[in-house]
Amino acid sequence: MKVIKTIEELRPIIKAWRKEGQSVGLVPTMGYLHEGHKSLIVKAAAENDRVVVSDFVNPTQFGVNEDLASYPRDIARDARVCEEAGADLIFHPEPEEMYFRDSCTFVNMGKLTEGLCGKTRPTHFQGVCTVVCKLFHIVAPDKAYFGQKDAQQLAVIRRMVRDLNFDIEIVGCPIVREEDGLAMSSRNTYLDDAERAAALILHKSLMLGKEMIGQGEHDAAKIKEAIMQNIKSEPLARIDYVEIVNPDTMENVDTVEGAALIAMAVYIGKTRLIDNIVIVNDKNKCRLL
Amino acid sequence: MKVIKTIEELRPIIKAWRKEGQSVGLVPTMGYLHEGHKSLIVKAAAENDRVVVSDFVNPTQFGVNEDLASYPRDIARDARVCEEAGADLIFHPEPEEMYFRDSCTFVNMGKLTEGLCGKTRPTHFQGVCTVVCKLFHIVAPDKAYFGQKDAQQLAVIRRMVRDLNFDIEIVGCPIVREEDGLAMSSRNTYLDDAERAAALILHKSLMLGKEMIGQGEHDAAKIKEAIMQNIKSEPLARIDYVEIVNPDTMENVDTVEGAALIAMAVYIGKTRLIDNIVIVNDKNKCRLL
């Protein structure tokens, strides 16, 4: 697997592909790739002539007290995953390659970034939007692939692409889960055995929400309250947020009609995990999207 | 001259050019084109196979009490200027084509935007950066042309392109002046005869600054003071700012060494005009850039 470290090396490779009329898919990641990432790369490889995986732990999307230093990294393993999944190259820059010391330009978004993860992590989405904007300019892909696991990020990127007229199609891909329901995450590696067992409470309480809606409960406040009570039954869990929102605008909904996103962030010990489901509730039929 | 109003119509035209291997130059303007704009288009036509002129009075770069409503517009005349200068098409969207009602993504810049025009017009450069970013995504040019007249804007765009990794070359072009020295500006049309005469004070006081530096004065504070006194001798003039700064970073300089930008904004009656010169002061030789 070719691992490219600089923008200067990457651009001519992509331009040569373009010149041959080949389409390019981009899978932006922070590395430590798991089955969720792999599903994005496989999809990108199926839909494009060429696939670039960016593998960059972006410092600007971490807050000062967050886990930037401890975030897991393993480029050798990532290269094997990319190889298997059908990527053409990994773009793996150092932070100094991506940011000048006097960088002062940022992409900011209002509204969609104010609640959910944006409330707890106030500079996070500025970091995400700015680095994704940069990666889009560096790689110039036709399509870019993001996981539904980061539901707010996916909505934010879609909005950025719309508002700033990027000529790029954003493809959202379903959450990949462990057999017992835990959503795949690079941060799962932080969990000890007891925490790993406790972490199931996220998916279980999302399923509780789905069940309530399936049984005819449409009052978002009641569903949210039941989910929160369920999470609180797990001693190792501490709720950051549970919200029921419109999946495109991230605005709270009072009543679950049409599509609704149930999203949560929960600390299991010191590890902050996120998970979500999108419920489509049409004409008394309730299904997961 | 082809005038295109929508992004949907524009994109396939540019993609067809690209497919034939043609290079594309973009000249972003707010219309009401004068000889300064024309010089940008002529240069773009000399350096690219195809030239797009965007002609859009961008509402988001005007403050609430500024001249958005009265800003002069004449698309028929603009089309003639573009024809003569060698453009291939004009992109002339309505504001609703450029902005969704719920647009919430912005490109922001610190540092370079804080002084000079950014001080008096605090939301101006957010508007400029955001619309230029959008135009860059819509047109995807190889090169984009900006006048040195808006010196801070030129520095801001260069920085945005560097920080966000746009693969676009920014070409700065010299100020075009009337025979008597007044810098060409669409806003000159606001001036009555007395104001038109008074407006010469901008260029005259820049020339005074140049003369002082040529005579060996390197103290920025003294040069600035002499320029301000000179402007104050004109009863119709009211100073917004006079600054001597590094032309790349827009930081104030104490001593004029190497390249320095002398920039000013001056109200002549109700009309706010800007002008500037870049002085290069190397080894006792002083010249205009």
- Interface contact A109-B105, CB threshold 8 A: yes
| pLDDT recorded at residue A287 | 76
Q: Is the pTM of this model over 0.90?
A: yes
What does residue A215 show for φ and ψ, rounded to 5 degrees? Answer: -85, 5
CA distance, residue A164 to nearest chain B CA (Å): 5
Each of the 289 residues of chain A gets a pLDDT tens digit; together they read: 999 999 999 999 999 999 999 999 999 999 999 999 999 999 999 999 999 999 999 999 999 999 999 999 999 999 999 999 999 999 999 999 999 999 999 999 999 999 999 999 999 999 999 999 999 999 999 999 999 999 999 999 999 999 999 999 999 999 999 999 999 999 999 999 999 999 999 999 999 999 999 999 999 999 999 999 999 999 999 999 999 999 999 999 999 988 999 999 999 999 999 999 999 877 667 677 6
Taking only the tens place, the pLDDT of each residue in B141-163 is: 999 999 999 999 999 999 999 99
Q: Which residue of A has its CA nearest to B157?
A: A105
CB A148 within 8 A of CB A39: no
Domains and CATH numbers, chain A: 2-173 (3.40.50.620), 186-278 (3.30.1300.10)
CA distance, residue B114 to nearest chain A CA (Å): 11
What does residue B77 show for φ and ψ, rounded to 5 degrees? Answer: -65, -40
Sheet containing B258-268, strands listed edge to edge, beginning at the edge strand earlier in sequence? B237-245, B258-268, B271-282, B285-288
Q: Give CA–CA dist B128/B123, Å, rounded.
A: 9
With CA atoms as reference, report the closest residue to A3 among A68, A77, A95, A99: A77
Q: Which residue of A has its CA nearest to B111?
A: A104
Query: β-strand B258-268 against B271-282: which pairing, if any?
Result: antiparallel
Whole-Å CA distances, B51 to A77, A235, A280, B169: 47, 65, 47, 14
Q: Give CA–CA dist A214/A209, Å, rounded.
A: 9
Chain B residue numbers with beta carbons less than 8 Å from the beta carbon of A15 are none
Residues ≥6 apart with Cβ < 8 Å to A106: A126, A129, A130, B107, B108, B109, B110
Q: Which residue has the tokens 């006048």?
A: B147
Rounded percentage of chain B residues whose pLDDT exceeds 70: 98
Comparing CB atoms, the residue among B7, B105, B112 nearest residue A104 is B112
ipTM over 0.90: yes
Mutate which of B162, B165, B248 to test chain A, going by most A C-beta atoms within 10 A?
B165
Contact with chain B for residue A12, Cβ under 8 A = no
Which range is least confidently modeled, B122-126, B187-191, B281-285? B281-285
| pLDDT recorded at residue A267 | 98
Angle among Cα A124, A128, A129 to the nearest 5 degrees reads: 120
Chain B residue numbers with beta carbons less than 8 Å from the beta carbon of A103 are 163
Q: Give CA–CA dist B136/B124, Å, rounded.
A: 18
Between residues B281 and B151, the one the model is more confident about = B151
Classify residue A136 by burial, with Cβ atoms within 10 Å: 0-12, 13-18, 19+. buried
Residue B289, pLDDT > 80, answer: no
Q: What is the DSSP letter of A49?
A: S
Comparing CB atoms, the residue among A129, A140, A162 nearest residue B100 is A162
CB B89 within 8 A of CB B25: no
Contact with chain B for residue A155, Cβ under 8 A = no
What tokens were used for A94? 């150092």
B37 is catalytic: yes
| pLDDT recorded at residue B220 | 97
Sheet containing B169-173, strands listed edge to edge, beginning at the edge strand earlier in sequence? B2-4, B89-91, B50-55, B24-29, B143-147, B169-173
Residue B287, pLDDT > 90, answer: no
Residue B282, pLDDT > 90, answer: no
Contact with chain B for residue A129, Cβ under 8 A = yes
With CA atoms as reference, report the closest residue to B27 among B184, B167, B172: B172
With CA atoms as reference, report the closest residue to B248 among B84, B112, B134, B120: B112
Contact with chain A for residue B111, Cβ under 8 A = yes
